[in-house]
Amino acid sequence: MAKTFKKIGILTSGGDAPGMNAEIRAVVRKAKEYGIDVIGIDGGYKGLMDDKLIELDQRTVSNVIQKGGTMLHSIRCPEFASPEGMEKALDTLKKYGIEALVAIGGDGTFRGATDLSRHGIPTVGLTGTIDNDITATDYTVGFDTAMNSVINAVDQLRDTAESHQMCMIVEVMGRDCGEIALMSGIASGAAAVVIPEVPFDEAYAVQHLKELRASGKRNLLVIVSEGVKTADGTMYGEHLLGVLKANGVDARFVRLGHLVRGGNPTLRDRLTASRMGAMGVDLLVEGKSDLVVVELEGKLQPIEINYALVLDRMYKGKLKDGDLDAFIPEQIEKMKATCAAKKAEIEKLYRLSQDLSK
């Protein structure tokens, strides 16, 4: 049933991502089209607990569509998961007449949003994370910009690698998800890619790099996801540096780190952010709640937050007792099929990265 709101809130939470500002802008401008006021919450769920609010209108979101980071700032806030944290947040919403909330971020953000909806606050989640690590969606806002930042950096490193006949081991972010490493590895012509999703054959890779060198290839680029570590917890890229040096390959280790989390969002991120933001407001006005806007096969659509969170845990092998109780057998089968398809797609791309590295 359609709903009339006077005022809704918006926050960004978790790691910032390029395109978050474009999402904020879209939410504010679309809400204003419906005559709804928008309050920005400064500093994610922490800001909500601490009453840090900013009034937003069409002008306050001018000149932000092209900017990285988040104009609403972000703080990771474990306290929000406690009953006291929730109480403080609900008090703030009540005190300022904020009737619904748009929460932008990743899985932690959506957990907060679904908790709020259970406490009677209509919520919609929008993706905003460079990691593309939300199984329920093909795409998260920020991913494209991050990948482009990686390939730009790797292109520059390639110049030196080519000039000095060097191997560059480049570690990239992505938490436990190897998608930034895999896609940007293919797109930058890497000789090897190391990701958490596919076992890495170190002996084969060392041999492969030596053969490439022997065949006359001067630059050797290895893209390593930060999610891969050795048994003793050493970052895999640093470990590989030692292995390559011991094998007579002149190598350097470069950690791109937070460099790829900033920067002006690409067209892909601005456009997806604008479409997702507008859809988030439409959903609230349609009387819907507890949903996240995802992109599947190029189309935006809402899905239940709990479905997204449980699917994610299933894909990551982290299902908790009772997680599947809320779903009928057909839904569980669909979840399993989604996980299998995603795994197969990653493995296929990984094989492609190997085939094209010869």
Interface contacts to ligand F6P, rule CB under 6 A:
15, 129-131, 173-175, 226, 261
Angle of CA points 278, 263, 269, to nearest 5°: 30
Q: Which is nearer to ligand F6P, 99 or 269 (CB)?
A: 269
By beta-carbon proximity to ligand F6P, the closer residue of 182 and 191 is 182
**238 to 203, 280, 343: CA distances (angstroms):** 16, 42, 27
DSSP H or E stretch at residue 343: helix 329-355
Rounded least distance, CB 226 to ligand F6P, Å: 6
The total of other beta-carbon atoms located within 10 Å of residue 84's CB is 10
Q: Which is nearer to ligand F6P, 28 or 130 (CB)?
A: 130
Rounded distance, CA 80 to CA 87, Å? 9
**C-alpha to C-alpha distance for 78 and 257, rounded to whole angstroms:** 23
Q: If DSSP codes are grouped into helix, strand and coil, which group holds residue 59?
A: coil
Q: Which residues are catalytic?
A: 131
Nearest to 20 by CA among 140, 123, 177: 140
The distance of closest approach from Cβ of residue 179 to ligand F6P in the complex, given in angstroms and rounded to an integer, is 11
Nearer to ligand F6P, 109 or 306 (CB): 109
Shortest Cβ 130–ligand F6P spacing (Å): 5
* Beta carbon of residue 196, minimum distance to ligand F6P (angstroms, whole number): 12
For ligand F6P, the closer of residues 105 and 302 by Cβ is: 105
Question: Nearest CA to 107 among 60, 140, 142?
Answer: 140
How far apart CA 304 and CA 256 sit, in angstroms, is 34
Return d(Cα 157, Cα 256) in angstroms, integer: 11
Contact predicate 261/130, CB 8 Å: yes
Q: CA 304, 305, 306, 310: dihedral to nearest 10 degrees?
A: 110
User: How far is residue 48 CA from its own chain's centroid?
Assistant: 22
Sheet with 220-225, edge to edge strand ranges: 192-194, 220-225, 167-172, 251-255
- Name which of 175 and 210 has its Cβ closer to ligand F6P: 175
* Pairing, β 299-304 against β 291-296: antiparallel
Nearest approach in angstroms of CB 79 to ligand F6P is 16
Give the nearer residue to ligand F6P in terms of CB position, either 72 or 212.
72
Q: How far is the CB of 12 from ligand F6P (least distance, A)?
A: 12
